[in-house]
Amino acid sequence: MKLIAVLFALVASTCDLLAAQPSPKPNIVFILADDLGYGDLGCYGAKDIHTPRLDRLAREGVRFTQFYSNGPECSPTRTAFLTGRYQQRVGGLECAIGIGGVGRYDDAARLAAQHQLGLPATELTLSRLLHDAGYATAITGKWHLGYEEQFAPSRHGFDHAFYALGGGMDYFHHVEDPPDYAPVLRINGKPVKRPGYATDLFADEAVRWLREHTTRDAKRPFFLYVPFTAPHSPFQAPDEEQPAPLPADSERWKQSKAPPRVYAAMIERMDNAIGKLLDTLDELGAAKNTLVIFASDNGGTASARPCGLRGIKGTTFEGGIRVPCFARWPGILPVGVERAEPALTFDLTTSIARAAGVTPPRPFDGVDVLGAIARSEPLPSRPLFWRGRRGERTWRAVREGTLKYVSQANGLRVEEFFFDLALDSGEQKNLLTERANDTVRLKQTLAAWEADVRPQR
C-alpha cells in the first residue's frame, strides 16, 4: 500500500510539473515586407542596401531562391496568406483595394458598391484557426483587406491589432495618399494617433505586445503577424520628418520615383526594426521555440534594385512575383540551406498550420513546404497559378516545372509569352512558337484552374 501511495504521489507530481511547462506548440512570427524586390536584401545580392539582421536570419535557417508571392500586388497575396487558398476564391481581391475601399476592376467595384469589398469574416483564416487552437494572436502593421469594420482584423481572430487600414501611408503623419489625406492608423478598430516613423511604431508595438504576453500568459503560444509598409511609397527616410504630410505633387508618392538612397534607408530601417523583434525573442527566451518567417507581398516596383528578372510589381513576369523568403526554426529546420524549388505564399500558411498542429475544416490550396524541408524531402511538384486584374487589364501566368506561360490582356488585345526558366530566368526569349504544344497544354491547365477558383459571391 505504501508503494502504491508513493507511485500515486509521483504521478501527481509529474502531472503538476508538465502542467507548469510552456506549451510544446511553436510560437510563430510572420514578417511581411511591402513591395520589397527580389534583389533588395544583402542575402539576395544587394550591394548598396545593408541588411545585417535579415541576412543573419536567412543564414540561420532556410532561404528560398524561387519563392513566389500569390499575387502581383499586396491585397491578393495577403488574402492568400490568411485564407491558405488562391485569393480568387474570395472574389474582388485580385487587385490592391483602392483608397477608402475603391474597387479597381469590375468584380471589385461591384462588391464595393455593396459594401462587401474586403475579406469577409465568414472566410476561414489562419489567424482564426490558431486563435481557436489556443494561440494568442496579434497583428502590427499593414492590413489592406477592407476598410469597413466588418473586415477588421478582430473579425478574423486577432486578439490585438495595431494597423494601417490601406496601402500607401505617410510614414510620419499616418495619412493616405492625397487628395484624401485620411488618417488610417488603427488600434483594435479605433482611430489612434502616435508620433513616430511607421516602421518603428509597428516594431515597437510588436515588441510591447510580446513582452506583455510573456508577462501575462507565458504558457500560451503566440502568433504574431508583422506586415510592414516598407518600402512601399511614399518614399520617406526615417530622418525626413516634416511638419505636414507630403504635398499632393510630391514625386515621393509615385512608386517608380524613389531616390535610391531614401529607398535604401527605408529598407535598412526595417532591417533594424526586425532586429529589435528578434532580440526581444532572445531576451524572453522564446527564440528556441519560435518559427520566424520573412517574405515580401509581391515583387519590387521600378524603384527596386535591378535583379536580372523581367517585369515589376503588377505583372506576372518573374520580377512581379518572385520574392525573397526565408524561415528559421531552431532544431527543426536545417541551418544555412538554400532551396531552389518553387513555392508560394500560401504554402507558408499550410506549413504554419501543420507546425501548430491545426487541421483546417476545409483543405488549403498550399502544401507544407517547411515540413518537407524539415524531413529532408523534395517539395511537392505541382503547377502554380497567378491572375491579377486592374481596370481592363488582366495578367495571367502558370508555371509547371521550369516551363512558364504568361499572358497580358488589355481589353481585346492579348500578348502571350512562353519561357523555359531553367534556360532563361530573365524571360528574354519568347518560345511561344517553338513550344506550341506545351503552350496549348499550359493554357488548358490555366483555364481549368480559373474554372476551379471561380468565386461564390
Distance of alpha carbon 336 from the chain centroid: 22
Would residue 144 show up in a list of annotated catalytic residues for this protein? Answer: yes
Burial class (CB in 10 A: 0-12, 13-18, 19+), 48: exposed
231 preceded by a cis bond (ω within 30 of 0): yes
Would residue 307 show up in a list of annotated catalytic residues for this protein? Answer: no
Angle made by CA atoms 292, 158, 345, in degrees to the nearest 5: 45
In three-state form (DSSP H/G/I as H, E/B as E, the rest C), the secondary structure along the chain is CHHHHHHHHHHHHHHHHHHHCCCCCCEEEEEEECCCCCCCCHHHCCCCCCCHHHHHHHHCCEEEEEEECCCCCHHHHHHHHHHCCCHHHCCCCCCCCECCCECCCHHHHHHHHCCCCCCCCCCCCHHHHHHHCCCEEEEEEECCCCCCHHHCHHHHCCCEEEEECCCCECCCCCEECCCCCCECEEECCEECCCCCCHHHHHHHHHHHHHHHHHHHHCCCCEEEEEECCCCCCCCCCCCCCCCCCCCCCCHHHCCCCCCHHHHHHHHHHHHHHHHHHHHHHHHCCCHHHEEEEEEECCCCCCCCCCCCCCCCCCCCCHHHHEEEEEEECCCCCCCCEEECCCEEHHHHHHHHHHHCCCCCCCCCCCCCHHHHHHCCCCCCCCCEEEEEEECCEEEEEEEECCEEEEEEEECCEEEEEEEECCCCCCCCCCCCCCCHHHHHHHHHHHHHHHHHCCCCC
Q: Of the residues 43, 50, 74, 173, which is catalytic? A: 74
Q: Of the residues 50, 131, 144, 213, which is catalytic? A: 144
Find residue 102's DSSP bridge partners. Answer: 98
Distance of alpha carbon 117 from the chain centroid: 20
Residue positions annotated with a catalytic role? 74, 144
